[in-house]
Amino acid sequence: MTTEIEELYQEVILDHSRRPRNFGELADAAVRVHGDNPACGDEIHLGVKFDAEGGLDDIKFTGHGCAISQASASLMTMKLKGKSRVEVMEMLRAFHDLVTDEISEAPKTLGDLRVMKGVRKFPQRVKCAMLAWRAVEQALEQGAGEANVSTEPE
Amino acid sequence: MHKIAAKAVDWHAVREDFPILREQAHGHPLIYFDSAATSQKPRAIIDALRRYYEHENANVHRGLHTLSSRATEAYEKSRQRVAEYVGAASADEIIFTRGTTESINLVAHAWGGKFIHEGDVILLTEMEHHSNLVPWQLLAERTGARLRFVPVRDDGTLDLEQLSSLLTPELKLFAFTHISNSLGTINPVAELCEKAHAVGALTLVDAAQSAGHLPINVQELGCDYLAFSGHKMCGPTGIGALYGRAEVLDSMPPWHGGGEMIVSVTLEKSVFKRAPHRFEAGTPNIAGAIGLAAAIDYIEQIGRPAIFEHDTQLAHYAAERLTELTGMHVLGPTGERGALVGFVMDAVHPHDLTTFADQYGLALRGGHHCNQPLMRRFGVSGTTRASFYFYNTTEEIDRMIEILHRAVRFFS
């Protein structure tokens, strides 16, 4: 087994892709975002509920996709639950750097999400890792109702 | 008609003609199973391009100097070679294009713009590559024409029982693929052309996946147009051809305007050359055309009946061995199939699988293969495809099966 593939598909990632956490419909979601990656047909449906200050009170997802996109969504929902808007946006930037930037050190605040670091060696898989994050970004922007987001803007 | 007895070929010697097949990927010998996307190039084609640039390069059809004469002669000889290769009655029926996509767009613009009107029907199939779908959608939008589709059955073949109800007087063109790039289905071209002609429609055959793999004779097939790409048949990228029956081409106005395609020009208007030059505005891909002719020479030296036999044997062997894997779903027909096999695995997503396989030097293609409607038809977001050419071996397929077993263990 080569190290690059082991780095990409760490045991934590495989575990989350097989048994994604926070997977299911969020019944009383304030906003629902449908994200898709038309290049591969992967889809995510994200439901978000906000607390009084606008932070993420609850977040769940459904959908289908590759191990990277599923694990990324699962890990993301675990990490973001209970976070303020500012914290979510900081995390989004840090995660994007983590999976795209060859040089940057992963900030400690990312915690478990740092297992996704291997993606930076596979530029064609960055969109898989970012799909759930693009959806949550859209959810914050939208605030309420339904929204769509795509990895390939029209 | 592609069942002509094939001669014996030393396939391992043929493989040696392809320098790139000695490459390594991630420390493993390269196994190139993506020839349906683009084929590799033998030394003979690389040398032909080099020879052209070193000894013949000049613009065509205008310079009166030595090099221009050489380039023009080589370019027009290439056209003749392509005409012979597809069984056209004359070299004037061959238009050089950038490839299959441009060939189809040419027909949609030049022929479609003149002959397609509101209410007319263009018939396609559910298995078309986006290149034989999107140009017709655009034409339908411009003209108010309607698109109809021959359904695909669960076994990956066309539902020909549905065809008769689609053959109406409004039908003006039936455009369909010869070999499906996702399923490997080989469509009965001659039969489809005959049925379309019976209601007065023209026919266009997308030969992108067949031109390099089996003998083609447009007069025997009875098609009005045939489109294909050089790069899928050992030739360079950026060159392809459109065959059009002389009478049909002569009825068509130009689509691109510019140099090379005119007889005379005043400030107000121009008189255009006849086909094929009417459809080749600007300096053409001269080296590409010469490279394509060299590819044809190379393929013909091996022989298309032998290539077809070898390629389909590989595809059948792969389809059979794939069933050894648990949770494996092979798409496409169980009978005759082209040089590829598409599949879906319960345990592994196509993108994870292709990333995994690449680490072992195995080049597969994962995704929708420019067949999004077909993927929806089969209820999948994408498939993994292994596609073959005559330089591939059964040993490479055995190795692929080993790697797939590993992938199942890894991802389960």
Highest averaged pLDDT of the listed ranges A102-106, B61-65, B283-287, B334-338:
B283-287
Put simply, the answer to whether A66 touches B411 (Cβ < 8 Å) is no
Distance CA A19, CA A71 (A): 9
Longest alpha-carbon distance in chain A: 49
Does pLDDT of A6 surpass 90? no
User: Mind listing the pLDDT tens digit for each residue in B349-399?
Assistant: 999 999 999 999 999 999 888 999 999 999 998 999 999 999 999 999 999
Query: Is some CB atom of chain B closer than 8 A to the CB atom of A94?
Result: no
Mean pLDDT value of segment B239-263: 96
Judge: B382–A40 Cβ closer than 8 Å, yes or no: yes
Instruction: Please report where in the chains the tokens 């994050």 appear, as a residue.
Output: A133
Round to whole Å and give the CA distance between B22 and B27.
Answer: 12
User: Which DSSP letter does residue B152 get?
Assistant: B
B370 is catalytic: yes
Helix axes A11-18, A67-80, angle to 10 degrees: 90
User: What's the gap in Å between the CA of B76 and the closest CA on chain A?
Assistant: 40
Q: What is the pLDDT of residues B137-173, one digit of tens each?
A: 999 999 999 999 999 999 999 999 999 999 999 999 9
Average pLDDT over residues B91-111: 98
Mean pLDDT of the region B287-315 = 97
Q: Which domains does chain A have, with CATH numbers?
A: 3-147 (3.90.1010.10)
B368 vs A65: CB contact, 8 Å cut-off? no
Q: From the CA of B322, how many Å to the nearest CA of chain A? A: 21
Q: Taken in order A41, B139, B217, B47, is the CA torsion positive or negative? A: negative
| Whole-number pLDDT of residue B61 | 84
Q: Is B411 on the interface with A (CB under 8 A)?
A: yes
Whether B349 has its CB under 8 Å from any CB of chain A: the answer is: yes
**Are B34 and B364 spatial neighbours (Cβ–Cβ below 8 Å)?**
yes
CB B83 within 8 A of CB B91: yes
List pLDDT tens digits, range B39-60: 999 999 999 999 999 999 999 9
Which among B389, B411, B218, B402 has a CA at the least distance from the CA of B315?
Answer: B389
Judge: B350–A128 Cβ closer than 8 Å, yes or no. Answer: no
Q: Residue B63: its pLDDT value, please?
A: 76
pLDDT score recorded for residue B5: 60
For chain A, give the mean pLDDT: 91
pLDDT given at position A152: 82
The confidence score (pLDDT) of residue B1 equals 43
Res B106 pLDDT > 90: yes
pTM for this model (two decimals):
0.94
Residue B107, SS3 per DSSP:
helix
- Residue B84 exposed, middle or buried by CB count within 10 Å (0-12, 13-18, 19+): middle
Instruction: Pick A5's closest partner by Cβ from B350, B359, B375.
Output: B359
What is the rounded average pLDDT of the residues B196-204? 98
User: In whole numbers, what is the pLDDT of chain B averaged over residues?
Assistant: 96
CA distances from B144 to B117, B166, B176, B178, B256 (A): 7, 18, 21, 27, 23
> B206 and B225 in contact (C-beta within 8 Å)?
no
Confidence grade of residue B4 (pLDDT, cut at 50, 70, 90): low
Instruction: Place B183 in a pLDDT band, splitting at 50, 70 and 90.
Output: very high
- Residue (of B132, B135, B185) closest to B160 by Cα position: B185
Amino acid at B383: T
Distances (CA, A) of B46 to B287, B301, B367: 11, 17, 30
Structure tokens at A48: 């978000």
For A53-84, the pLDDT digits (tens) are: 989 999 999 999 999 999 999 999 999 999 99
Q: What is the pLDDT of residue B2?
A: 47
Distance CA B293, CA B314 (A): 26
E strand intervals along B9-61:
24-25, 28-29, 31-32
CA angle, B350 as apex, B346 and B354 as ends, to 5°? 130
Give the per-residue pLDDT at B306.
Answer: 97
Q: Which of A32-41, B10-19, B214-223, B355-364 has the lowest mean pLDDT?
A: A32-41
What domains can you pick out in chain B, each with its CATH number?
A: 11-32+304-411 (3.90.1150.10), 46-300 (3.40.640.10)
Q: Give chain B positions within 8 Å (CB) of A44.
A: none
Q: Which residues of A touch B346 (CB under 8 A)?
A: none
- The residue in chain B having the minimum alpha-carbon distance to the alpha carbon of residue A19 is B412
Which conformational region is residue B243 in: left (phi greater than 0), alpha (psi within -120 to 50 degrees), or beta?
beta
pLDDT of A2 over the 80 cut: no
At residue A57, the pLDDT reads 95
